[in-house]
């Protein structure tokens, strides 16, 4: 998918000069003072443990706007419905969109509905677009970061801002969403049902911006932690070193991954962020995160290094493993 985007989409649609454009392939774009994001959701099944396609669509777009340091202003919802979708299911999904919007303090203010023949959509697909704007919390955050890094030349939190010495914080357990979807798709009865972590995180992010010093932030969705860390590595030209013992993973998620033969670091999440923060502010940001419900299991999992341009993990048994960009998706139609 990444290669398809860089080989086909960017050469044709890219090239427009704005603060953060399509070519940056960041979580969202910036034009003037506005952050803009569009995200399509084709998850299967549309209802899964811990959430549904409606909640996922709101959280996905809100989180991509929030990780640049912005607060969402409004959403646009495009529905593509398949003939035969039960009205009751549509009602359930829209009610879920509404309640996730209330959680994030944002509203759907425009949209579009299309109906297509019964093919292979699996019920419905949702495109959720959104705009956001930076507020005083983002300004404060960048001001604090600049106290320690005079060379920081942007007012946004971007994938390319990570530098040697920055600490990397993970806001909670990884793998929950992907395992919840996969166990439903494959109809694997796990003893304890794993629930998706899908959640809008803009309020949690707003709190840590008030502490300040955050330079990069990302929601490790498709491709999981492994993919997100490698995107940072590539765009920031740093090495990244993480410690396996510091990565929070639920025991049932770890067990399910072992049974299914997948790596929890490559599985998508929908309610977590990784945060790159100047080292002087790392403990304070961690403490603030842990005071929130969504971030109570947060950990400092590693740091950016100047050594070599790789993501490496010190394993629990004392070895070293290179974490590469995942090839293909272990779980199809996860988001």
Contact residues for Mg ion (CB under 5 A)? 27, 64, 219
Nearer to Mg ion, 64 or 329 (CB): 64
Between 35 and 85, name the residue whose CB sits nearer to Mg ion. Answer: 35
**HEC assignment per residue over 125-175:** EEEEEEEEEECHHHHHHHHHHHHHCCCCCCCCCCHHHCCCCCEEEECCCCC
Q: Which is nearer to Mg ion, 64 or 299 (CB)?
A: 64
In the complex, the smallest distance separating the C-beta of residue 278 from Mg ion, rounded to whole angstroms, is 22
Number of residues assigned to the chain: 335
Say which residue the tokens 């794993």 belong to. 194
In the complex, the smallest distance separating the C-beta of residue 218 from Mg ion, rounded to whole angstroms, is 6
What's the closest the beta carbon of residue 27 comes to Mg ion, in angstroms? 4
Q: Give the contacts of 126 (CB within 8 A, at least 6 positions apart).
A: 40, 41, 53, 54, 57, 77, 78, 79, 80, 93, 97
Q: Tell the smallest beta-carbon distance from residue 26 to Mg ion (Å).
A: 8
- Which three-class secondary structure state does DSSP give residue 326? coil
Q: What minimum distance in Å lies between the beta carbon of 119 and Mg ion?
A: 28
| Residue number with the smallest Cβ distance to Mg ion | 27
C-alpha to C-alpha distance for 249 and 173, rounded to whole angstroms: 5
Query: Which residues, other chains included, contact 287 with Cβ-Cβ below 8 Å and sequence gap of 6+?
Result: none
Q: Give the burial string for 56-76 (b: 16+ CB within 10 Å, else e).
A: bbbbbbbbbbbbbbbbbeebb
Collapsing DSSP to helix, strand or coil, 277 comes out as: strand
CB of 90: closest distance to Mg ion in angstroms?
A: 27
In angstroms, give the least distance from the CB of 39 to Mg ion.
8
Cα distances (Å, whole numbers) of residue 244 to 30, 145, 247, 264 = 34, 27, 5, 11
Nearer to Mg ion, 149 or 272 (CB): 272
User: ∠142-144-148 over CA atoms, to 5°?
Assistant: 105
Nearer to Mg ion, 37 or 149 (CB): 37
Q: Which of 193, 69, 83, 81 is nearest to 133 (CA)?
A: 69
Q: Which is nearer to Mg ion, 144 or 267 (CB)?
A: 267
Rama region for 134: left / alpha / beta (φ>0; ψ in -120 to 50; rest): beta
- The label of the residue with tokens 């998620």 reads 253
Nearer to Mg ion, 141 or 228 (CB): 228
Decide whether 61 or 183 has the Cβ nearer to Mg ion: 61
How many CA atoms within 13 Å lie on the side-chain side of 171? 28
Q: To the nearest whole angstrom, how small is the minimum distance from the Cβ of residue 28 to Mg ion? A: 8
């Amino acid at each position: 998918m990444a290669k398809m985007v860089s080989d086909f989409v960017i050469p044709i649609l890219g090239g427009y000069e704005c603060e953060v454009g399509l070519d940056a392939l960041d979580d969202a774009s910036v034009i003037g003072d506005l952050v803009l994001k569009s995200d399509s959701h084709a998850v299967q099944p549309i209802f899964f443990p811990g959430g549904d396609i409606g909640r996922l669509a709101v959280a996905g777009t809100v989180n991509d706007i929030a990780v640049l340091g912005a607060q969402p202003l409004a959403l646009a919802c495009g529905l593509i419905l398949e003939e035969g979708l039960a009205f009751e299911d549509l009602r359930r999904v829209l009610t879920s969109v509404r309640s996730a919007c209330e959680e994030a303090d944002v509203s759907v203010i425009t949209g579009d509905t299309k109906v297509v023949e019964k093919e292979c959509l699996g019920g419905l697909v949702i495109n959720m677009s959104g705009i956001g704007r930076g507020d005083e919390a983002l300004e404060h955050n960048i001001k604090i970061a600049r106290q320690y890094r005079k060379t920081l030349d942007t007012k946004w939190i971007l994938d390319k801002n990570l530098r040697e010495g920055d600490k990397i914080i993970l806001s909670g357990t990884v793998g929950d969403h992907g395992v919840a979807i996969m166990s439903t798709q494959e109809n694997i009865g796990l003893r304890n049902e794993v629930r998706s972590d899908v959640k809008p995180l803009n309020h949690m992010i707003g709190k840590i911006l008030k502490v300040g010093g955050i330079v990069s932030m990302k929601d490790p969705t498709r491709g999981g932690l492994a993919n997100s860390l490698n995107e940072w590595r590539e765009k920031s030209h740093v090495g990244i070193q993480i410690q396996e013992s510091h990565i929070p993973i639920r025991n049932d998620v770890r067990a399910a991954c072992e049974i299914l033969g997948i790596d929890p670091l490559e599985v998508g999440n929908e309610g977590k962020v990784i945060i790159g923060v100047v080292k002087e502010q790392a403990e304070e940001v961690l403490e603030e995160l842990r005071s929130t419900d969504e971030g109570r299991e947060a950990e400092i999992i590693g740091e950016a290094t100047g050594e070599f341009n790789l993501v490496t993990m010190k394993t629990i048994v004392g070895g070293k493993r290179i974490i590469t960009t995942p090839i293909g998706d272990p779980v199809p139609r996860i988001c």
